[in-house]
Amino acid sequence: MTMPRIMFGGDYNPEQWPEDVWAEDMKLMVEAGVSLVSVGIFAWAQVEPRPGEYDFGWFDRVLDHLAEAGIGASLATMTASPPPWLSRRHPEVLPSRADGVTLWPGARQHYCPSSPVYREHAARLVEQVATRYGDHPALRLWHIGNEYGCHVRACYCDVSADDFRRWLRERHGDVDTLNAAWSTAFWSQRYDDWSEVLPPRTAPTFGNPAHKLDFARFSNDAILACYTVERDILRRHTPDVPVTTNFTGLVHKPIDSFRWAAEQDVVSLDSYPDPYDPRTHVDAGFGYDLVRSARQGQPWLLMEQAPSAVNWRERNAPKPPGVMRLWSWQAVAHGADGVLFFQWRQAAGGAEKFHSAMLPNAGAHTRTHREVRDLGAELAATAELAGTRVRAEVALLHDWPNWWAVEGEAHPAPLDLLAAHRAHYAPLFDAHVTCDVVPPDADLAGYRLVIVPNLYLLSDATAAALREHVDRGGTLLVSYFTGVVDGTERLHPGGAPGPLRDVLGLRVEEFWPLPAGGTIGLDLDGRQGRGLEWSEWVEPAGAQVAGRFTEGELAGRPAVLRHRYGAGTAWYLATRPDPALMRTVLDQVRAEAGVAPVLPDLPDGVQAVRRHGDDRSYLFLLNHGDTQATVALPSPAVDLLGDADRPTERVTLPPRGVAVLRS
């Protein structure tokens, strides 16, 4: 999908307001430069107040107003929150937790993803919406559902149990194969009949890890099936209208964004960084790089963000002046072709009435709305950015099944995979090195450096791809607790790192996790530091020792290893170096791989990212710091947000300042 400009707007919920407010909405949207709104997301109860009785008249008028104002609609299928009549008539659609507690109406997403009743009623509504609005002049794209898996990440009811057994039969074929895959000889868990298999409900102690991993896979597929049912209806009626749905939470554990992205025409993301966290923009960068990589670098949409404060944290700080603009431009720098918000007009009631909006309850003469209007004008003036792409020479590998598995129970120590990703990603971010975040089956041919943190679940196919990357001259960095099990949670014979032992030139004999909050001394070629969280007893088998532990039972033993393999080099970290030492390691590894930063020697707090078009590139400079910063440019460039008629060789950024430079 190609956007004519960087789209700008937000969620619009006119059903919450009397019609005499709508005219003011249209006027203020036009003045603010709004070009796209998500509309109808929570309109099911309004358009179908009783089963099979439809009232679309009011919604017709909403879309007509948008078309007259020249504002496009990201038109929702309206299925995100079923009306109360559905669960009253069909209580079997309600989801259950692992402990058997039913989740009732009164909030949203109160449906079992496997429920055929829910899917049937949702499909019937989507048919109505698609036939009625498929050729409406306001329609720009379809917005299917909303934030799938945000609240109901899995359902354990009897309906889901039947669907899980169906899924298992398709995956494993017969019960004997299932027993082998799940290692059910352990603890007398052998199944004799499919009817004996249940979801992993609350049990006396540790559940079967392979059972839980398959249920996580199934739960993702069950939710995805709800999406594809609606997607297929829309494509049948409007094959030329693109479809999307919005991922939530930057990186959302229940939903495999890589698998979902393949089923969409454009990827959308909801992003809510915490203003209290001084490094929250680094986490945002990771999420943006992942969602951009999910469709091989295709521009994506920032579907939701907060203009200021949210309502759902324990402490809800507003965004200070300039932060909303800075973070919006950060998304564009990382490849977004749309900047939208939740929501246009602040709600007067309900659970989100304290969530900020583009048009606050206090009205248009407010700081937030003035900043919104200014941002809309900037985005409208930079249409040439649309369609340009971000390029990277570094890839960080992320895998959802590994995430579900590595954070399981009965492990040597609890691990937080996203924390491991941040520890490896942040030094690249701080060094202004662009990084893709890719799945295990990604094409690695274009990358000089591939980083693999804590890939506990390692398949032979992924190992072969990583081996090929190194063999043909690439650089690989692998961190601890990698290559431990296969896709069925069975240990690789011979120990970790399993099928990567030859590439890494080592064998892990024992895991030595550190006490909670504990550290261990490290020496990296004379540079002293600390190892965090984890350590391992590693025996080199061809690898050279580049760093050693200096304390405890592991004193003198290898902590960082380097191995030449084929035409490339593989590195291994048997612990997580502290942030300063991790930066040293990553700087050394990427320099050896021939990876250069976008710009070197930038002031602290300034981020540099580049987007590329066919015949020109755009350099984004974003000052996340609280002091003014001056940046010398490698060649004269025009600042699209400043004096667009006069090239400059030096840019001064105020705190939270942004420059977008055309080279």
**Residue in 24, 196, 263, 304 annotated catalytic:** 304
Would residue 304 show up in a list of annotated catalytic residues for this protein? yes
Burial of 205 (0-12, 13-18, 19+ CB in 10 A): exposed
User: What does the pLDDT look like over 22-73, one tens digit per residue?
Assistant: 999 999 999 999 999 999 999 999 999 999 999 999 999 999 999 999 999 9
User: What does the pLDDT look like over 62-119, one tens digit per residue?
Assistant: 999 999 999 999 999 999 999 999 999 999 999 999 999 999 999 999 999 999 999 9
User: What does the pLDDT look like over 465-509, one tens digit per residue?
Assistant: 999 999 999 999 999 999 999 999 999 999 999 999 999 999 999
Q: Give the three-class secondary structure for 539.
A: strand
CA pair distance 460, 403, nearest whole angstrom = 17
Structure-block tokens of residue 518: 């504990």
pLDDT averaged over every residue in the chain: 97
Peptide bond into 343 cis (omega under 30): yes
pLDDT at 663: 84
Would residue 127 show up in a list of annotated catalytic residues for this protein? no
Apex 402 CA angle, 406 and 219, nearest 5: 105
CA pair distance 643, 649, nearest whole angstrom = 12
**Residue in 147, 230, 378, 533 annotated catalytic:** 147
Place 1 in a pLDDT band, splitting at 50, 70 and 90: low
With a CB cutoff of 8 Å and minimum separation 6, the contacts of 502 are 467, 565
pLDDT at 646: 84
Kindly state the average pLDDT of the residues 154-179.
Answer: 98
Inter-CA distances, 136 with 84, 161, 198, 231, Å: 29, 41, 46, 18
Contact yes or no for 637/656 (Cβ under 8 A): no
User: How large a percentage of the chain has pLDDT more than 90?
Assistant: 98
Q: Give the three-class secondary structure for 324.
A: helix
Inter-CA distances, 390 with 266, 572, 608, Å: 16, 28, 12
CA pair distance 359, 374, nearest whole angstrom = 13
**583, HSE (Cβ side, Cα atoms, 13 Å):** 8
Inter-CA distances, 523 with 477, 535, 547, 557, Å: 18, 14, 5, 10
pTM over 0.85: yes
Contact yes or no for 347/42 (Cβ under 8 A): no
Structure-block tokens of residue 583: 């930066």
